[in-house]
Each structure stands twice: as structure tokens, then as C-alpha cells.
Amino acid sequence: MDDLIAKLKRGDEAAFKEVMAMYKKPIFNYLSLLLGNRPLAEELTQDTFVRVYFKARTLKSDHPQAAKAWIYSIATNLARSEFRKKRIKQILSLSDLNGRQASYDPDVESKLLAEQLLAMVPEKWRVPLVMKEMDNFSFEEIARMLNKPIGTVKSMVFRGKDHLKKHCLDPKGASHA
């Protein structure tokens, strides 16, 4: 795997295709959960890999985990740019899907529910929450990707979960005593 990253850094097209095959679906799922917008997630997934291709030589390490963190950082930064540009607050609903899409994915309702709930969490907490809970990154990995102290990342994940509990799962925002 270290060799694959070294080849990617040298501009090897086959290595790029292999890295893209490994990470395209996870990056798309990550962006889809962050943005709550599948077409935009697809577009930003493509943009992520365009940047990976053209900037691979700038990757400082040949270690696979460093490459994974770097790719997720690119995707996260693209999503943040999109948040800044459009202040995305939309929530997908089942009416946005045609019947054909829904019939081929039995999990579509649970994915949409997760997207709807996550869309209600402020972006500053949503990004680390999705990285931790959906993509199973460690707090250390998230801290490196977001360039934040580990304690801050832990706090952000906790606050994101707390926000979900208080505002999304209990719509009245009642305290849980």
C-alpha cells in the first residue's frame, strides 16, 4: 500500500485509479451525509479526486492512513467552501427521489433519515461527528484532518451528539432530566 501512495505521488495513472476505486464511495457517502444533497455530493466527490490527481505530489507521507486523511481533508474543505457559498440548509425528502431509485435501495429511507437529522446539526459539529460516527475515524485522525486539538474534537463530537438529542430527536428541546 505504501508503494501505491508513492506511485500516486509520482503521477502514476493506474495508482490514481486504484486509490479512486478505494475511496470514491466512502467519500461520496461522507459528503452526502455532510451536505444532505446527493447530486452536490457527487459533484464534490469528483472535485475531490481531481484535486487528489493534481496535488498528489504534495502529499508529505507515503503512509496509507496519511493519504486517507489527506483525501478526507480535501473533501471536507470542498464541503466547507460549499457551505460558505450557499449556506446549505436543505433537507432531502423522499419526494426528491424517483420510484426507481427507491426501489433499488432498501436502505434509502434510513439513509435519508440520517441525512435529515445530520442536516439539523450545525456544520462546525457535523463535520467531526460524521467523521467519528459514520466514517470511524479516531479522534487523533480527525484532529489532524481538521487541524484542531484532540480535546476540541472530542468536545465538538459530544456537542454534535448532544444537539441531535436535544433538538432533533426531541423536537421540543425539552431537557432530559
In this model, does residue 167 exceed pLDDT 50? yes
Could you tell me if residue 47 is inside a domain? yes
List pLDDT tens digits, range 75-111: 988 988 887 665 433 333 333 444 444 433 445 556 6
Of the candidates 57, 94, 50, 95, the one whose C-alpha atom is nearest the C-alpha of residue 75 is 50
CATH number of the domain enclosing 137: 1.10.10.10
Could you tell me if residue 101 is inside a domain? no
CATH number of the domain enclosing 64: 1.10.1740.10
Mean pLDDT of 168-175: 53
Same domain membership, residue 127 and residue 65: no
Number of domains in the chain: 2
Same domain membership, residue 84 and residue 125: no
**Is the separation of the CB atoms in 20 and 49 below 8 Å?**
yes
Angstrom distance (rounded) from CA 57 to CA 54: 8
List pLDDT tens digits, range 45-67: 999 999 999 999 888 887 888 88
Could you tell me if residue 168 is inside a domain? yes
Per-residue confidence at 18, pLDDT binned at 50, 70, 90?
A: very high
Angstrom distance (rounded) from CA 3 to CA 127: 30
Could you tell me if residue 107 is inside a domain? no
**CB 61: neighbour CB atoms within 10 A?**
13
Could you tell me if residue 95 is inside a domain? no
Per-residue confidence at 37, pLDDT binned at 50, 70, 90?
A: confident
Of the candidates 121, 100, 155, 129, the one whose C-alpha atom is nearest the C-alpha of residue 30 is 129
Could you tell me if residue 25 is inside a domain? yes
Q: List the domain range (segments joined by +) for residue 167.
A: 121-177
